[in-house]
Structure 1
């Protein structure tokens, strides 16, 4: 244990590596940006290797930092688990659920309203993830992820098969009767999905439209749906995410299947807290296969 660096240095590195920001790490740990920077430098000196590449306005992890971070996070997780097992929960800790903004807005929000009416004493905390790397064991009891359901160390329950279809404002939909009509409109792309516009157009037999349509690319599906609702183009999305919206309708009722889907996910270890188990079972009951 004499070779283990001080806990404050390890915390500074873990938070800075997770946020890729000394400023954000300082805010999370309640110290200054300078203090985080100093602790990381002391840690690097102790280890004899650089953990970050310091760019003019950003940070990135070195290969050594990338390799070490999962082990360090697992160590913190095990320490927290052991503390809970021996001493129990300290204070009222909310159940934390993490998912993407589009799932929060279109699928989760109405269901959480019903959950809170049924379980008003369960404290909740909802946090956002946009990119796959935003997900992970740190800080969330339950997650709703998008993918194929294969995540090491995680229990995953499918939220049901889904299809991708083009949606737009009702007034715009009146002018679209076949895929060829899309050539006259902007296609709103959301990055990160296996079935995007090129795959959908190929599936409906019109791959040439990929180069003929005007593209507008966003990094979140929330933004593409907002633009589509305003009449600025046509978005490709999951049917279940727009089934309860009246500002978006199917531009064409040509759904295309995807191997990817939404999954309810939680760590296999440790045993879930009672409040988190309540939310997990309740959300499982919302699954429509």
Structure 2
């Protein structure tokens, strides 16, 4: 069997391929961007194939890089799980929960203080993820993901059906009494969701209205909701994320159903720690209708 490349090279490739950034990979691994670049170059020389396409200001994976990445990530996951099974972990290691900033701010923040009061000995660590690729194969005990609930190797429990509806600052809501009143306002778009303003306006029978509105696109729902709360426009938000917010109101009742949802997720192969099981079970009680 051919000798494997050095582990440092493999780690550099996995981090750079996941983040599509030598700089971000360097920050993650505690080395310089130049060190990551050198390790990748040595790895490509060893393999005899390019793994990345270097663009002037970005990176993309070659077909070989894309094909190899899942196998490498799975190998790292198995190595971490095997180490945990044989040697265990430190008893005081925090339970790591990875999810999107909008869930952290609007769904977890109002709830986690109660968990901490009920379980003061369990340390928690929250990790942010914005894009689907940010949810890596390891490093988190639990995750809350957005999608259809179909992730190989993962157990997923829905946080409830949801819908999207327009929200804005109370001062702006006073001027919006029916969908046609959106004309002339700024529509705040958040990328990454199947349901957006075009779908909502079509459901309202006002598809033409988008051309009569200014548009501002954000790469996260956190920012679109922050702008809406400051009177910067009207955003689309998940109904269940609004309960804890006093700075946003829904001026219109028309909601757009979505087949995507937020899901509580954990690996099926890994034997969870008791502390992680406790958090998993507690979060499930926060789902409407659970109990």
Q: What TM-score comes out, normalization by structure 1 length?
A: 0.94
Say how many residue pairs are matched.
Answer: 289
Q: Say yes or no: does 1:145 pair with 2:111.
A: no
Q: Say yes or no: does 1:59 pair with 2:59.
A: yes
Structure 1: runs of 5+ lacking an equivalent: none
1:58 Cα offset (Å): 3.0
1:249 Cα offset (Å): 0.7
Instruction: Tell me, in whole angstroms, the C-alpha distance in 2 between the residues paired with 1:129 and 1:31.
Output: 22
Q: Which residue of 2 aligns with 1:226?
A: 226
Assess if the C-alpha contact under 8 Å between 2:52 and 2:65 holds in 1. yes
Q: Say yes or no: does 1:93 pair with 2:93.
A: yes
Assess if the C-alpha contact under 8 Å between 1:169 and 1:230 holds in 2. yes
Instruction: Tell me, in whole angstroms, the C-alpha distance in 1 between the residues paired with 2:187 and 2:67.
Output: 39
1:26 Cα offset (Å): 2.8
1:276 Cα offset (Å): 1.2
1:7 Cα offset (Å): 1.6
Q: Which residue of 1 aligns with 2:47?
A: 47
Equivalent position SS for 2:111: helix
Deviations 1:54-89 (A, max 9, x none): 233332221111111111111111111111111111
1:104 Cα offset (Å): 0.8
Assess if the C-alpha contact under 8 Å between 2:18 and 2:133 holds in 1. no
1:8 Cα offset (Å): 1.9
1:173 Cα offset (Å): 1.0
Equivalent position SS for 2:102: helix
Q: Which residue of 1 aligns with 2:174?
A: 174
Instruction: Tell me, in whole angstroms, the C-alpha distance in 2 between the residues paired with 1:76 and 1:112.
Output: 30
Q: Which residue of 2 aligns with 1:104?
A: 104
Instruction: Tell me, in whole angstroms, the C-alpha distance in 2 between the residues paired with 1:120 and 1:33.
Output: 40
1:49 Cα offset (Å): 0.7
Assess if the C-alpha contact under 8 Å between 1:129 and 1:135 holds in 2. yes
Instruction: Tell me, in whole angstroms, the C-alpha distance in 1 between the residues paired with 2:131 and 2:236.
Output: 18
Deviations 1:201-224 (A, max 9, x none): 111222221222222111111111
Q: Say yes or no: does 1:81 pair with 2:98.
A: no
Structure 2: runs of 5+ lacking an equivalent: none
Q: 1:30 to 1:172 in 2, by over 3 A?
A: closer
Instruction: Tell me, in whole angstroms, the C-alpha distance in 2 between the residues paired with 1:161 and 1:146.
Output: 12
Assess if the C-alpha contact under 8 Å between 2:195 and 2:258 holds in 1. yes
Q: Say yes or no: does 1:286 pair with 2:286.
A: yes
1:25 Cα offset (Å): 2.5
Assess if the C-alpha contact under 8 Å between 1:154 and 1:267 holds in 2. yes
Q: Which residue of 2 aligns with 1:10?
A: 10
In the TM superposition, what are the counterparts of 1:98-247 in structure 2 within 5 Å? 98-247=98-247
- Runs of 4+ with >6 A deviation: none
Q: What TM-score comes out, normalization by structure 2 length?
A: 0.94
Instruction: Tell me, in whole angstroms, the C-alpha distance in 1 between the residues paired with 2:10 and 2:170.
Output: 54
Q: 1:25 to 1:109 in 2, by over 3 A?
A: same
Instruction: Tell me, in whole angstroms, the C-alpha distance in 1 between the residues paired with 2:191 and 2:248.
Output: 20
- Mean Cα deviation higher: 174-183 or 92-101: 92-101
- Mean Cα deviation higher: 60-69 or 129-138: 129-138
Assess if the C-alpha contact under 8 Å between 1:168 and 1:233 holds in 2. yes
